[in-house]
Amino acid sequence: MILSGKCAIVTGASRPIGKAIAKKFVEEGAIVYLISRDADRIALIAQELDPNDEGKAIAMPCDITSKTSIEEVFEHIAAADLVVDILVNATDLAIEKPLEQLELEDWTRNIKTNLTGAFLLSQKCFAGMKEAGAGKIINVASLISDNVKPGIAAYVAAKGGLVMLSRSIAAEWGKYNIQANTIVNADIDLPMSKEKAMDTDPMKLADKSSLAEDIADVALFLASDKANDITGKEIPVDEGFLTSLIKE
């Protein structure tokens, strides 16, 4: 098992992508902390991933926009005599409104959830990763940050910022053997995703149900020692969407 002995945090664990990544990590030997505001949902997922309650999947309700809430998670991890080796920021929130109707509260909520939380968690992981001499940070962003669609300006801005956060981490923390990369996905967690996929089907795009598994496979690779020389990169897992944009 390629993640045996590793400790991982996966945010957005109550959603399809986060759950698939957490499942893959548990299967490959990691101890995984499932992070979400939805306490009931992640408790059920933890039970599903670790049915014998062996401490392989731990549900940790957390508001990732709150430093206090994040601190509580890390206190729990430290009490278990663990250090975070792998951080996956897979939280996803999109508020759909035309730009001119977007309230400051909507904007702030999007930025805090999709970007600020990843920043706070990355900062919190830094000391332990630096001391260990290794670390993996994987951010899950969106194709929409490169192919802007109307009505989700705050989401686009946040996910675009997440890409640049990965690059900044790679540039500043690479000397400590910390790698940071971004998986750019095809937005399977967005309510409008199925409709968009139906509209952009020239490549016979893959079934959405399989996409989370594909993203989890890429996350597993990036979290492993096999990806030690890959950092500051964006890896698209997009059902061929980008290829479908090529005009003959």
Q: What are the φ/ψ torsions at residue 96 (nearest 5 degrees)?
A: -95, 105
Catalytic residue among 33, 126, 155, 173: 155
Q: What type of residue sits at position 176? A: Y
Q: What are the φ/ψ torsions at residue 88 (nearest 5 degrees)?
A: -115, 115
Q: What are the φ/ψ torsions at residue 77 (nearest 5 degrees)?
A: -65, -45
3-state DSSP assignment of residue 244: helix
Told to judge if 155 belongs to the known catalytic residues of this protein, a careful annotator would answer yes
Point out the residues that are catalytic.
Answer: 155
